[in-house]
């Protein structure tokens, strides 16, 4: 999805002989998430990436749906999710549909004994708290507060935290996560009116080649089931790669807000898109500068999308009782808007310090049992005067 990039050594011509110092061939792998008809990369492994030596029993991790149908505004205390040591077990799906799963994690420890591959979904991992390194077969991505890590499905990775208090807001997307089409030229370059550009997109760096034999466990998630596949070599055995399909990092702090004389609609905050949902970044910005402007948003009907807002930091002028890590869900079918009193209060304000991530889905979301354990009851009545 991003621009062409290359790291390490690649042969002069694709699909030709590329040999190690001892004369043996490197093993070429074409990596894409949409067959042979979209962006791809070519990776060169020391070992063939197909050598499974042992398999483990499978584990069902399909989200347990608690409410399939509902029509209520909901709110959840994301930071009440208990911390867990294991990365995969710490990931708790809260809101799900067939296009995406919204997942929270308060993972305490780095992945040491295994690697992970999500065979179903591209992942967008928003780092709310914590820092570390995402290690992948493409190289490393350092991450810190405010980073989006976007990982194409099929990428083998390992998360190494430098911190024990970590809060992740994750979207698993069952279609490729891309930048908004309207921000790209017909050849894919980010245009002048986009709120970010290629310089803000961090590709992997520090490609370390682990040419190591031995039993290496890769946990692979497919159709809600975790499989344990043991390979006879280290999965990060790549000496070089090139192409346009690779994981990257983008900091929400590099999102340049688009502002106007009167209130700008949510699409100006859009950051990513996939089939049937979008991701938006609400960042600190100057308010509307028409002399009679109302900075608070207008009520809106959102009849065709469920709106999920994940509150990161700062103050939220249109909402009361907001906490860090809170999620609100405003479902399609009933309008929502600013809380009572917040419209008048917003008039004359010059700027907001709010930081939030929004996911708008075009098909309704279902609530999992984890969501219910985090719920603030009676939120639906919080507009009543
Ligand atoms: Fe909204």
Terminal Cα-to-Cα distance of the chain (whole angstroms): 47
Ligand 1 geometric centre to CA of 305 (Å):
10
What pLDDT, in 10s, does the model give residues 72-115?
Answer: 999 999 999 999 999 999 999 999 999 999 999 999 999 999 99
> Is 63 within 8 Å of 134 (Cβ atoms)?
no
CA–centroid distance, residue 307 to ligand 1 (Å): 6
pLDDT of residue 316: 75
Instruction: State both tokens at 121.
Output: 């979904």
pLDDT band at 1; cut points 50, 70, 90: low
Residue in this structure with the two tokens 């009851």, named with its chain if needed = 377
If one counts every other C-beta atom within 10 angstroms of the C-beta of residue 228, the result is: 15
Mean of per-residue pLDDT scores for the chain = 96
Long-range pairs, 28-34, Cβ under 8 A, ≥24:
31/152, 31/154, 31/155, 31/241, 31/243, 31/245, 32/245, 33/122, 33/152, 33/153, 33/154, 33/176, 33/245, 34/176
Distance, CA 296 to ligand 1 centroid (Å)?
A: 11
Question: Ligand 1: distance of its center to the CA of 337 in Å?
Answer: 6
Evaluate whether 76 touches 94 at the Cβ level (below 8 Å).
yes
CB hemisphere CA count around 27 (13 angstroms)? 12
pLDDT score of 58 more than 80: yes
Neighbours of 11 (CB within 10 A): 15
Contact (Cβ atoms closer than 8 angstroms) between residue 194 and residue 183: yes
Condensed to tens digits (0 to 9), the pLDDT of residues 304-327 reads 999 999 999 998 767 778 899 999
In the reported structure, the alpha carbon of residue 84 is separated from the centroid of ligand 1 by a whole-number distance in angstroms of 32
**pLDDT > 90 fraction of the chain, expressed in percent and rounded:** 94
Distance 333 CA to ligand 1 centre (A): 12
Q: What are the pLDDT digits (tens) for 215-244?
A: 999 999 999 999 999 999 999 999 999 999
> What spacing in Å lies between the alpha carbon of 360 and ligand 1's midpoint?
9
Output DSSP code: residue 69: S
Please report, to the nearest 10 degrees, the dihedral formed by the alpha carbons of residues 57, 58, 60, 61 taken in order: 110
Q: Can you say how many angstroms the Cα of residue 205 is from the centroid of all Cα atoms in its chain?
A: 19
Residues with CB under 5 A from ligand 1 (ion): 307
Distance from the CA of 336 to the center of ligand 1, in angstroms? 6
User: What confidence category does residue 183 fall into, taking pLDDT thresholds of 50, 70 and 90?
Assistant: very high
């Amino acid at each position: 999805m991003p621009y062409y990039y290359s790291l390490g050594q690649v042969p002069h011509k694709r699909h030709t002989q590329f040999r190690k110092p001892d004369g043996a061939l490197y093993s070429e792998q074409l990596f894409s998430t949409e067959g042979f008809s979209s962006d791809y990369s070519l990776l060169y492994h020391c070992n063939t990436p197909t050598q499974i030596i042992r398999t483990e029993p499978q584990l069902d991790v399909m989200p347990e749906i608690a409410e399939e149908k509902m029509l209520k505004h909901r709110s959840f205390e994301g930071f009440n999710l208990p911390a867990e040591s294991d990365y995969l077990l710490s990931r708790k799906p809260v809101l799900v549909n067939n296009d995406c799963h919204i997942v929270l994690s308060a993972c305490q420890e780095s992945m040491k004994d295994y690697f992970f591959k999500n065979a179903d979904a591209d992942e967008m991992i928003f780092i709310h708290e914590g820092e570390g390194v995402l290690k992948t077969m493409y190289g490393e991505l350092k991450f810190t507060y405010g980073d989006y890590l976007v990982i194409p499905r099929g990428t083998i990775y390992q998360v190494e935290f430098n911190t024990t208090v970590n809060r992740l807001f994750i979207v698993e997307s069952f279609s490729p996560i891309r930048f908004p089409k309207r921000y790209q030229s017909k050849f894919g370059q980010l245009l002048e009116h986009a709120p970010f550009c290629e310089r803000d997109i961090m590709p992997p760096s520090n490609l370390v080649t682990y040419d190591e034999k031995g039993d290496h466990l890769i946990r692979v998630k497919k159709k809600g089931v975790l499989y344990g596949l043991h390979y006879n070599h280290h999965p990060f055995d790549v000496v070089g790669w090139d192409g346009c399909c690779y994981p990257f990092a983008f900091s929400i702090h590099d999102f340049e807000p688009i502002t106007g004389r009167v209130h700008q609609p949510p699409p100006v905050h859009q950051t990513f898109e996939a089939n049937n949902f979008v991701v938006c970044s609400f960042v600190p910005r100057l308010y509307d500068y028409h002399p009679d402007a109302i900075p608070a948003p207008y009520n809106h009907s959102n009849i065709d999308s469920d709106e999920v807002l994940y509150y990161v930091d700062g103050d939220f002028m249109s909402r009361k009782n907001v906490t860090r890590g809170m999620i609100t869900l405003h479902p399609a079918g009933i309008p929502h808007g600013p809380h009572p009193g917040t419209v008048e209060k917003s008039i004359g304000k010059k700027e907001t310090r709010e930081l939030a991530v929004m996911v708008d889905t075009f098909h309704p979301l279902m609530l999992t049992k984890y969501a219910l354990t985090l719920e603030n009851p009676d939120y639906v009545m919080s507009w009543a005067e």
